[in-house]
């Protein structure tokens, strides 16, 4: 998109299913990069709405309710709170964290469906689906087990066999059984409404091909879906949990969760703008949070229906087809909406060499991390950005987490800032010294510093957050090198004026880091702001050496980062080993074939 045309940004982060807490895979894949991007835009004074919320509909929720012996509503209430609170504590700066069980969402999604219905977009199809006569309910694929026709495993699910990995249709199963009643399900006719994706194929191709700049993994996946040929897809389901289909002959049917979930971005924006308009601060604190301010007084439609709005979806790679094919087709069918400018999907993060698994408890849960590593949000933010799976799957290990904290955050960034602040207090009573005569060494630092903001901006604007963060760390490296070369602690005995200049410049480098690191490590930026007493600056001020005026009093030195000891890491590794042991003991018990039911339920 032509940058000069952009008036505002709508940044969305995938709506997490409320069937469990958020883990590091979600953070690295979606929420941290999205937050970096949104914070960066705000620091550049761009008009941005950063949107997210809980995905509370669909079979994943009903399955969880069944497992926990509670109602779907109780499930979503419980996890919505856990997830929302941990995002907030982790510094994910959504303008709104909404939820798809809200009235606004139900109305918005139903209206959207109705518009498409009235335009004659859907086709009606009668198909045969498994039905549990005892439970009086149609069965989603996940609710059916049976013998796998390929390998003979007796505990295969209606969509996949976990033993041989085959993708199945429920009707492929030999001796199918309903997991609700244990009975053999019967085939019964049912009517559903289909979105004829095939009719949008040409327009989708044109859309995708106009975005050759997308990440190769995203572009490639879209191409292979298109090349395989798109099929009509049911947008309604026979289920009793979700957004009711707003038609007369649709009793007992709800919208397909992947129809309503992306509309959740729109309903959240609506809610944000409407409440901001009414001047109500955080009206539903218990239900969801809004970080509202003056600039949120807007019409939500500007954020969705204008070609001056840049829409960016942050998602994990398992969501690509929904955001790049199905949702755009829905928006095209509707006719009024703008399509996403980019969908920077990440690959997956593994944990200690193994795939993260909710059911095997092979994960680092955000809510537990926040409890066990109090005040260390930025350490996790740092490690997950520095190792983000941007172009290929990556591995998180606790040893690497410790090493990056101790050798990078403590030794490079923390050390530089600490030295500058401590020396300024020691030699000049905490007051920014005057810059005297500039030498070649100083000038080289000033010149190098000046180049960083544009470099970092380019990386962020091209969704290369790893690269951007490593450049910010290079600014701290530059500062350390400068101090090591000039050795102000030695010079102080012979040339105090020279030390004034060195510390003046070093303090400016620290003040630059404060601005440049804010999108990545907001808690650290906040600490730096207090330490340097340096408020009110944003991205446009970075790159200069005039951020702190001479004579300005800085605050006390505090440590930005603490060393992480072996015991803390051993404790975490111990926890994972326990999961391993209990999985081995339970290995006879069937576990879900897929962690997230993203496709047909």
Positions in the binding site for ligand MET (CB under 6 A):
14-17, 55, 261-262, 264, 319, 596, 598
Distance between CA 506 and CA 487 in Å, rounded? Answer: 12
Pick 322 or 401: Cβ nearer ligand MET: 322
> In angstroms, what is the minimal distance from the CB of 428 to ligand MET?
53
> In angstroms, what is the minimal distance from the CB of 312 to ligand MET?
14
- Residue of 530, 498, 532 whose CA lies nearest to 512: 532
Pick 204 or 420: Cβ nearer ligand MET: 204
> In angstroms, what is the minimal distance from the CB of 61 to ligand MET?
10
- Residue of 241, 449, 348, 273 whose CA lies nearest to 25: 348
Pick 348 or 523: Cβ nearer ligand MET: 348
> In angstroms, what is the minimal distance from the CB of 262 to ligand MET?
4
Distance between CA 226 and CA 205 in Å, rounded? Answer: 7
> In angstroms, what is the minimal distance from the CB of 210 to ligand MET?
23
Distance between CA 422 and CA 557 in Å, rounded? Answer: 6
What is 215-258 written as a DSSP string? -HHHHHHHHHHHHH----EE-EEE-SSSPBP-STT-TTEEE-HH
Pick 242 or 262: Cβ nearer ligand MET: 262
Distance between CA 539 and CA 336 in Å, rounded? Answer: 34
Cβ pair 373, 565 in contact under 8 A = no
Pick 173 or 257: Cβ nearer ligand MET: 257
> In angstroms, what is the minimal distance from the CB of 412 to ligand MET?
35
Pick 16 or 33: Cβ nearer ligand MET: 16
For the record, the structure tokens of 235 come out as: 């947008």
Cβ pair 62, 141 in contact under 8 A = no
> In angstroms, what is the minimal distance from the CB of 318 to ligand MET?
6
Pick 515 or 597: Cβ nearer ligand MET: 597
Cβ pair 12, 314 in contact under 8 A = yes
Pick 81 or 425: Cβ nearer ligand MET: 81
What are all long-range contacts of 594-597, with beta carbons under 8 Å and residues at least 24 apart? Answer: 594/159, 594/160, 595/357, 595/358, 595/359, 596/17, 596/60, 596/318, 597/58, 597/59, 597/60, 597/63, 597/142, 597/159
Pick 130 or 256: Cβ nearer ligand MET: 256
Residue 479 Cα to chain centre, angstroms:
32
> In angstroms, what is the minimal distance from the CB of 223 to ligand MET?
22
> In angstroms, what is the minimal distance from the CB of 527 to ligand MET?
33
Q: Under 8 Å CB-to-CB from 411, ≥6 apart: which residues?
A: none
Percentage helix, strand, coil, to 5, in the chain? 50, 15, 35
């Amino acid at each position: 998109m032509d940058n000069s045309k952009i008036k505002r940004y709508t940044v969305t982060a995938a709506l997490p299913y409320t069937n469990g807490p958020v883990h590091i895979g979600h953070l690295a894949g979606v929420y941290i990069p999205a937050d970096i991007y949104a914070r960066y835009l705000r620091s550049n004074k761009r008009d941005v709405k950063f949107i997210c919320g809980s995905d509370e509909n669909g079979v994943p929720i009903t399955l969880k309710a069944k497992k926990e012996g509670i109602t779907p509503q109780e499930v979503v209430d419980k996890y919505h709170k856990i997830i929302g609170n941990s995002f907030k504590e982790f510094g994910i700066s959504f303008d709104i964290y909404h939820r798809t069980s809200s009235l606004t969402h139900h109305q918005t999604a139903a209206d959207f469906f109705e518009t498409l219905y009235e335009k004659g977009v859907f086709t009606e199809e009668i198909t045969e689906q498994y039905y549990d006569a005892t439970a009086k309910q149609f069965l989603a694929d996940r609710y059916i087990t049976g013998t796998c026709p390929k390998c003979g495993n007796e505990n295969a699910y209606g969509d996949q066999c976990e033993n041989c990995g085959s993708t199945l249709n429920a009707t492929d199963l030999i001796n199918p059984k309903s997991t609700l009643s244990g009975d053999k399900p019967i085939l019964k006719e049912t009517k559903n409404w289909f979105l004829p994706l095939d009719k949008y194929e040409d327009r989708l191709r044109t859309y995708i091909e106009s975005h050759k700049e997308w990440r190769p993994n995203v572009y490639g996946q879209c191409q292979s879906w298109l090349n395989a040929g798109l099929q009509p897809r049911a947008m309604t389901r026979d289920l009793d949990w979700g957004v009711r289909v707003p038609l007369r002959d649709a009793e007992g049917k709800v919208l397909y969760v992947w129809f309503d979930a992306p509309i959740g971005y729109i309903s959240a924006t609506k809610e944000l703008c409407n409440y901001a308009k009414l001047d109500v601060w955080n009206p539903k604190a218990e239900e969801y949070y809004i970080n509202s301010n003056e600039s949120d007084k807007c019409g939500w439609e500007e954020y969705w229906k204008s070609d001056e709005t840049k829409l960016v979806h942050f998602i994990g790679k398992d969501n690509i087809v929904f955001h790049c094919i199905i949702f755009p087709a829905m928006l095209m069918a509707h006719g009024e909406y703008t399509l996403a400018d980019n969908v920077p999907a990440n690959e997956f993060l593994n944990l200690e060499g193994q795939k993260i698994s909710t059911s095997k408890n092979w994960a680092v849960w955000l809510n537990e991390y926040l409890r066990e590593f109090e005040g260390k949000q930025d350490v996790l933010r740092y490690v997950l950005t520095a190792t983000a799976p941007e172009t290929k799957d990556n591995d998180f290990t606790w040893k690497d987490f410790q090493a990056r904290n101790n050798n990078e955050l403590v030794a490079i960034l923390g050390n530089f800032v600490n030295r500058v602040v401590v020396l300024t207090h020691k030699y000049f009573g905490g007051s920014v010294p005057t810059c005297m005569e500039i030498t070649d060494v100083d000038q080289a630092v000033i010149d190098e510093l000046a180049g960083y903001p544009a470099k970092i901006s380019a990386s962020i604007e091209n969704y290369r957050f790893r690269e951007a963060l490593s450049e910010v760390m290079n600014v701290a490296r530059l500062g350390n090198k400068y101090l090591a070369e000039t050795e102000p602690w030695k010079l102080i005995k012979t040339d105090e004026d020279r030390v004034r200049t060195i510390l003046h410049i070093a303090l400016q480098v620290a003040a630059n880091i404060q601005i440049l690191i804010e999108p990545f490590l907001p808690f650290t930026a906040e600490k730096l702001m207090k330490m340097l007493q340096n408020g009110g600056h944003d991205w446009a001020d970075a790159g200069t050496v005039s951020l702190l005026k001479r004579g300005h009093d800085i605050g006390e030195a505090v440590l930005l980062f603490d060393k992480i000891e072996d015991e803390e890491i051993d404790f975490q590794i111990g926890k994972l080993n326990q999961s391993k042991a209990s999985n081995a003991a339970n290995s006879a018990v069937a576990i879900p074939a897929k962690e997230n039911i993203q496709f047909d339920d």
